[in-house]
Amino acid sequence: MKLEEAIENLKPFINKPFGEFLSEEQLKGIRTDKGLTGKLLELQLGLSNSTRNLDFEDGELKTNKVDLDGTPLETMFIKQISNMIEDIINAKDFYQTDLYQKIKNILYVPVYKGNRKVKLHRSKWRLLPYIHLNLDNTPHTEIIAQLEEDYYFISEQIRNQLDKGNDAFIHTCNGRFIQIRTKDSKPYTPIYSQTYNRYISNKNYAFYFKKEFMKYLQEISPDYPVNY
């Protein structure tokens, strides 16, 4: 399925409570984490859950917990880094990386689940208006430049961390829009680097979009509503 086709499938669900289009069984199984929410949304759009690199033939579906005005309440997972660690360490061309392939065409769907003050039953959760970002076809070249700068800055941070000693591990690294931090569960997946010929972490790490990225997407989307 193409991303543009998915947008047409998505439109009928915008601003509708989950209880109107999810079954009781689906609502019972859904958790507060955005992972299962995204999987259920994939099914509604006509996608099948799989281990492929991209959700669509030409892009990626991303969901994230937000407040009622669209303000992001969480960072947003992109991809784990273990299978591209050498590319990151050696600062492979940003546009040739798996990271860029993962983020270059995104359908971002904010999900309102309530907040600290407002507790909502899962049947009342809803999808807020989406934002489509295609880095290969956007007038906002500043966002591409910042993501590229963040990638190389994170690469530099990792090398600086690992060069501190033979037993040095990587730690959280931040750019303006993206970061890497731990994402793993037992049994943990250590990261081995061929460049350093040793383990450089005892857990897996992942790229995340920071909340600043989602806020910026709203800023550069002039028609994006802030009141629903």
Burial class of residue 126 in the structure, from the number of CB atoms within 10 Å of its CB (0-12 exposed, 13-18 middle, 19+ buried): buried
Q: For residue 221, is it left (φ>0), alpha (ψ between -120 and 50) or beta?
A: beta
Rounded CA separation 147/68 (Å) = 27
- pLDDT in the model for residue 95: 97
Closest CA to 72 of 223, 210, 173: 210
Six-digit token string for 125: 């959760």
- Please list the pLDDT of the chain residue by residue as tens digits (228 residues): 888 888 888 888 899 998 888 888 777 766 554 455 666 666 566 665 554 566 788 889 898 999 998 999 999 999 999 999 999 999 999 999 999 999 999 999 999 999 888 889 889 999 999 999 999 988 889 999 999 999 999 999 999 999 999 999 999 999 999 999 999 989 999 999 999 999 999 999 999 999 999 999 998 886 665 544
Q: Which amino acid is at 131?
A: I
- pLDDT in the model for residue 116: 84
Closest CA to 172 of 215, 214, 143, 201: 201
Burial class of residue 143 in the structure, from the number of CB atoms within 10 Å of its CB (0-12 exposed, 13-18 middle, 19+ buried): middle
Q: What radius of gyration do the chain's Cα atoms show?
A: 18
- pLDDT in the model for residue 5: 87
pTM: 0.88
Closest CA to 115 of 79, 74, 149: 74
Closest CA to 204 of 182, 178, 174, 179: 182
Q: Which CATH number fits domain 3-219: 3.40.600.10, 3.40.30.10, 3.30.470.10, 3.40.50.2300?
A: 3.40.600.10
| Domain residue spans of the chain | 3-219
